[in-house]
Amino acid sequence: MKTKRYLKDAILILLIISTLFLTVQIWMGSNPVANGNKSVFSVIVDPIIQLFSHEQEASLSDSLGNLMRPQKIVLNQSTKRAVLYSSDNFFSKVHDACDNLIKKYCQGTLKILSKETVPEEVYYSALKENSIYINYGNIYDYRLFFNSICGETSNDLNGDISSLREYIISLNDNILNNVTIYMKDYKSGNVYRYIVEEDKATYDRLLTEYFIDKGAQTLNYSFELNFHKQESGVGTLTKLVFEPKILFHLSPVASAVVTPDMNRFQDWSSLGPDTIDDLLNAFQVNPMTMRKYTDLANARVYVENDATLMLYPGGILKYQAVESGKGLPVATTSDKGTFDIYSAVTSAVNFVVDLNHKLPQNDTNSLRLCCDLVENTTSKTYQFTFDLYVNGLPVLQIDPDTGKSCHAIEMTISDGYIKYYRQFFHQYKTGNVGETIPPVIGAMDDLVDRLNPQDESIYVLNIARCYVDEQTQEALLPQWMVSVNGIDEIITVK
Amino acid sequence: MQIRRLAKAFSAFMICVLLLLSTMTVFASPDTLPADVTSTKDGLITICTPENSTTSTTSDKIALSALASPGTVVTVYRYDYNTATYQKVWADDAPLEASVGASWLFATQLNLQQGLNQFLIRGAWDDETYSVARFDVSLLDLSFMDRIKGVISVFFN
């Protein structure tokens, strides 16, 4: 009798254990969540863990810091001036030193000696003194900027700065051992000057170390050339008016060529089925329920309920949600009610980083956000672009359909859902520096010839160099890229 | 008869070559200009920087920018005290001379010598039609500025 009861209990315990085991098996192995194949862990468990985890915030800050790194750093010492790009060895050294100063300010460990607003001319004159000019190339919302530097969104600067594109660390041409930080708020237009107690010699040493064995470059800001003014002295209407801080290379610029690296990405079949599955998972395309076919352009097309994912032979991935569909959810549950530029950028950055980590030959260190990151007042739809940087310069691609230049990543996020995503997966390797491109004035002549302004001047917002990949497999030489009225014009000067 | 035909063909060929060359040749400005040179036509060139006709600086380089209509040949000259003439300025084995393009822009950097530097900019449409503009830049001794700073630092520290 006793043995029978023990046997019953044992069977019951075994049944309970097997029930639990099978339940876990079903949860782990199936796709019980509608609209995709996210596991229970990613839908239920992960968000709970994230609530108690500071790791994600830290990694977000790192990702933002990497993707929002400066476009260029300009060093000024006495009569010498040089511009550094992310490919320069000295770039990260200077960038780290400047980041540390801003971080100290954010953390409140820096003694502020004075704070005042100053006229724009004072800001410009700081660029002519011994100084370090950190230029991001795009306007960033203050929360994103400070999160990218110190991992926090609020600090003492919040009251002054709501969006910024650059800052200057001026080493003052005086005998006092302090440092001046200049920041311009792009929303109000105010320029703030913060004099802080900091060892000036640290930054002086950086400049001396750089210039000790390097000659100065032939560089001038447009305000130094008076090319930022609407009219010349005798009343001749100028054809071009330049943003005051545009740098003019007055002599030919030595540049390296880059070539497509076919060893790192050749075509989709070289990635293997597991990686393709990972890509499908990232876009919540369920291999069990999707429709798959190859279109006339030889692209692999995966059709899910309300979206299409296309893998083109040239290395372009395109995701497009149908107009009535929501798209791919990327915002966290807490962001849903208050989806703004901050949530949109963090969602976009997390998505891009996760997606690119799934590709064995891809890394996000070469990517950089290349659009203004400020609040969109008219709608909750945000468009973001990322450029692939090789040799410190962006590589643009020519869209075979439109013939226009495209960024490496273009995406649209609306109310927490990705509506459109396009990424070009080519990788490049740097060749030797041996070629030169003509000075920027030649490019301006070509720009005027192309746009042919009649009665009003053209406002040039930015001039930079870039590579343009026309998918000819040939070595790419930098070209001038000019931003006019929000459009980037690529100009090849022979 | 055949020789005459050949001569005609050769002459036609030479005329074509000369015509082609004439369109490609840009006239060069003279290497020297007399100290009292004056404009034959006003307003062919407008200097943007330096803004004043007399400036001083501690930097041994100065930016020169100007506006001129497309096709104007802009040349930079420096006054030579030995010959009492303006001499064409050379940098990297080339004269500081350029034909202005559609942007109307001309810009370059000038190296300064210690003391007074007298420059002349000539904007020319051809050998007879040109404007000239002068400006002087004094390069101050950096050690002199350092001495002033040293005196101030003694008071502050």
Q: Are residues A33 and A92 in the same domain?
A: no
Tell me, yes or no, if B52 comes closer than 8 A to chain A by beta carbon: no
Domain assignment present for A237: no
Phi, psi of A150, deg, nearest 5: -120, 5
pLDDT at B144: 63
User: What residues does each domain of chain B span?
Assistant: 30-141
Instruction: Give A471 to chain B, closest Cα distance, Å.
Output: 31
Looking at the complex, report in whole angstroms how far the Cα of residue B153 sits from the nearest Cα belonging to chain A: 6
Minimal Cα–Cα distance from A88 to chain B, Å? 25
CATH of B30-141, one of 3.40.50.2300, 2.60.40.10, 3.40.1580.10, 3.40.50.280: 2.60.40.10
Amino acid identity for residue B82 in this structure: N
Whether residues A51 and A197 fall in one domain: no
| Tokens, residue A480 | 């001038």
**Residue A263: what pLDDT?**
67
DSSP helix/strand/coil, A89: helix
CB contact under 8 Å between A250 and B108, yes or no, is: yes
Low-confidence stretches of chain A (pLDDT < 70) are 1, 28-58, 156-158, 173-174, 215-216, 231-237, 263-264, 266, 332-337, 361-362, 493-494
> Residue B99: closest CA among chain A residues belongs to which residue?
A442
In this complex, is the C-beta atom of A176 within 8 Å of any C-beta atom belonging to chain B?
A: yes
Measured CA to CA, the distance from residue A235 to residue A299 in angstroms comes to 57
pLDDT of A5 reads: 87
Of B59, B63, B152, the CB nearest to A225: B63
Is A435 within the bounds of a domain? no
Task: Assess whether A202 and A346 both reside in one domain.
Answer: no
Q: A108 and A145: one domain? A: yes
* Residue B20: predicted pLDDT: 47
B49·A444 Cβ contact <8 A: no
- Asked whether B130 and B41 are in contact (CB, 8 A), the reply is yes
Confidence check on the interface: ipTM exceeds 0.95, yes or no: no
Contact at CB, A444 and B105, closer than 8 angstroms = yes
Contacts of A225 in chain B (CB under 8 A): 48-49, 63, 65, 107
CATH of the domain at A405: 3.30.310.160
Question: In this structure, are A274 and A130 located in the same domain?
Answer: no
Q: Does B109 touch chain A (CB under 8 A)?
A: yes
Cβ contacts of A175 on chain B, cutoff 8 Å = 149, 152-153, 156-157
Q: Is residue A170 part of a domain?
A: yes
Domain-embedded: residue A338:
yes
**Quick check: is A333 in a domain?**
yes
Regarding whether A395 and A278 lie in a shared domain, the answer is yes
Residues A81 and A59 in one domain: no
> Which chain B positions have a beta carbon within 8 Å of A78's beta carbon?
59
Say what the pLDDT of residue B153 is.
Answer: 57
Residue with tokens 């590589």: A395
Distances (CA, A) of A149 to A96, A104, A129, A132, A145: 10, 10, 25, 17, 7
Assess A463–B contact: CB distance below 8 Å, yes or no.
no
Closest residue in chain A to residue B107, using alpha carbons only: A250
User: Chain A: nearest CA to B1, how far in angstroms?
Assistant: 48
Name the residue range of residue A277's domain.
268-313+315-425
Q: Up-side HSE of residue A438: CA atoms within 13 Å toward CB?
A: 10
B46 in reach of chain A (CB within 8 A): yes
Give the end of a domain, one of A388, A403, A425: A425
Cβ contacts of A59 within 8 Å, gap of 6 or more: none
Decide if A328 is inside a domain: yes
Q: What distance in Å separates the CA atoms of residue A74 and residue A34, rounded to the nearest whole number? A: 52
Q: What is the C-alpha to C-alpha distance for residues A340 and A381, in angstroms, rounded to an integer?
A: 9
Residue of A nearest to B57 (CA): A79
Q: How far is B21 from chain A (nearest CA, A)?
A: 21
Count other C-beta atoms under 10 Å from residue A172's C-beta: 16
Q: Position A78: which residue type?
A: S
Are A250 and B109 in contact (CB < 8 Å)? Answer: yes
| Sequence-separated (6 or more) residues with CB below 8 Å from residue A65 | A99, A148, A149
Q: If residue B12 lies in a helix (H) or strand (E), which one and from where to where?
A: helix B2-24
Please count the residue pairs, one from chain A and one from chain B, whose beta carbons lie less than 8 angstroms apart.
78
Q: Is residue A392 part of a domain?
A: yes
B87 touches B77 (CB < 8 A): yes
Taking the complete model, does pTM exceed 0.90, yes or no? Answer: no
Is the CB of residue A175 less than 8 Å away from at least one CB of chain B? Answer: yes
Render the burial of B23-43: b for 16+ CB within 10 Å, e for the rest.
Answer: eeeeeebeeebeeebebeeee
> Do A401 and A273 fall within a single domain?
yes
Pair of tokens at residue A243: 């943003």
Kindly state whether residues A36 and A82 are assigned to the same domain: no
Tens-binned pLDDT, residue by residue, of chain B (157 aa): 566 777 777 666 666 555 444 444 456 789 999 999 999 999 899 999 999 999 998 888 899 999 999 999 999 999 999 999 999 999 888 899 999 999 999 999 999 999 999 999 999 999 999 999 999 999 987 666 666 666 665 555 4
For residues A395 and A347, membership in a common domain is answered with yes
Task: Name the domain count of chain A.
Answer: 3
